[in-house]
Structure 1
């Protein structure tokens, strides 16, 4: 009986020790302090701003210079659309511009001709007036030369109007040439920013409509994770608050981040919340962004979709737990 009681006490002591050790272990892991006052936590996946490379006008793809997973620079040529028809339109518009410019020169020459005719008409009228005063010419002849003067003046005015019309035609033709050049430029699709090609959605030879997507690029200078926090915690989060990201791929390193967005609207709840219990279920979207300089240093390791945990500091006066993995710095090397 004594031995039995002794064994029971030994077994009970072992169970207590195991329970205490287990509690101590879980208390020291990040999953335990996520519920501590001053901190909030949630699981999420790495996301990045995605940009679609799409056509501005419909056409056939002539060439794609980038493959999936390839790094591209801002301004780099990615896609070349077939521009044969546009180039033909350019030749037509340039020829039209040349024609209207020549038309202006012709109109200007007509103005010079009409000015000469008006000058001659004025001189003839003066001579006829002298002859009429001297009785050597009839009044009818004077009227004829007077009408000729008025006709010359009208002809000059009409010639000057044609010059103005020719100038307007030139400006319209120049605008048309510029429009064709814009279309030619739009046939060359370039990268709007540095990034990595995520998807190649079309291939050379395919015909796409207006806005047809060819490539999708992710901007790895804008990488973030999104978590949803309940109302009580969301009210304590501020823009710029410190955050830590622990990825499943690198569980021994904490990536420093900052809160960059707090949704002004709740989610996952009915539109009309009437009771206190329902109000407590409100969840707010929080966006935590990684430092762009850090992303630039480890760009080769950044991959969207990688799962992990996000920890947000609600109270800046409460220090981060000591058992948190060390922060990733610009000098470290990831393996």
Structure 2
């Protein structure tokens, strides 16, 4: 009974908190002009995890947390001693197959010469045999020698084709190893700021092991939650304004980039209209890339603030919500 009583108390408190939160959110809307919605959220940015393609030992990490890195800049290097040894062996194998091709071509020239001699011998013996100056046995021997010379030439030509194929395979192997060697140097796939340094020199990581986490500060947004009646009226590209707690004197423009297809915080299925009105949908407000690029040195994630979204495209922004950015 004691456990049941405790569970009931927790459920009642949770329900009260939910109802209180919704009531608080409704109160925030009361002082807004018609055609606008308001919600709070935090600034977020797309995170990029730079990870290993192959397992290996970290040889060097050249960036620190908080550092700005450009696209293509080296972030870390993986110990490639074993791979470089494989590459040298593959290059030596390529040179060996090239020597084999040279030998096969020389042998083919020799076989062609032997075939030419066999043709001459056979022609001469055929002429002598026709005049009665050479035996039939000698004629058969010359024919057999020519057949052997033809087979030897065909074998030499096949060796040339095999050597050429071996060279192509060896070169492809070298190219693959060189490509793998490139992947042993980790570079930034996009410009951004280092959020976390997740590995240190000397650590051995499996394939897919994360080394550094970057924040793409050209893809910064705020997620807010709006009820059914407002989220349902939103259009993609609708205008919004963000006011951050850390800099309330500025008004940052944004646009609606995403509206969730499923509601949050409430049961999946509800029966009454009053309950449906409490359904909250996640809305993503994207800050324009040109603004982010201009202020990339001061953009930070995790900063809380308020978002104002224009639900009615004909509504006019108030003077207080006109865009205002740092000089």
Contact in 1 for aligned 2:51/2:208 (Cα 8 Å) = yes
Structure 2 partner of 1:280:
277
Structure 2 partner of 1:216:
213
Q: Any idea what SS the aligned residue of 2:57 has?
A: strand
Alignment of 1:327 with 2:323, yes or no, is yes
Structure 1 partner of 2:203:
206
Alignment of 1:124 with 2:121, yes or no, is yes
Distance 1:40 1:238 in 2: 13
Structure 2 partner of 1:58:
55
Distance 1:281 1:200 in 2: 41
For residues 124-143 of structure 1, what are the structure 2 equivalents within 5 Å? 124-143=121-140
Stretches of structure 2 lacking an aligned partner (at least 5 in a row): 1-26
Q: Any idea what SS the aligned residue of 2:258 has?
A: strand
Q: 1:105 to 1:273 in 2, by over 3 A?
A: farther
Alignment of 1:292 with 2:307, yes or no, is no
Distance 2:276 2:29 in 1: 26
Q: Any idea what SS the aligned residue of 1:40 has?
A: strand
Alignment of 1:159 with 2:156, yes or no, is yes
Higher Cα Rg, which structure? 1
When normalised by structure 2's length, the TM-score is 0.88
Distance 1:272 1:141 in 2: 102
For residues 1-335 of structure 1, what are the structure 2 equivalents within 5 Å? 31=28, 35-324=32-321, 326-329=322-325, 332-333=326-327
Output one character per residue of 1:176-199: Cα deviation in whole Å (capped at 9) or x when no partner: 000110111000000011110000
Q: 1:73 to 1:33 in 2, by over 3 A?
A: farther
Contact in 2 for aligned 1:34/1:40 (Cα 8 Å) = no
Output one character per residue of 1:296-330: Cα deviation in whole Å (capped at 9) or x when no partner: 22212211101111110011211112343x5223x
Output one character per residue of 1:237-276: Cα deviation in whole Å (capped at 9) or x when no partner: 1111110001010112111111111223333344445554
Q: What is the CA RMSD across the aligned residues, in angstroms?
A: 1.7
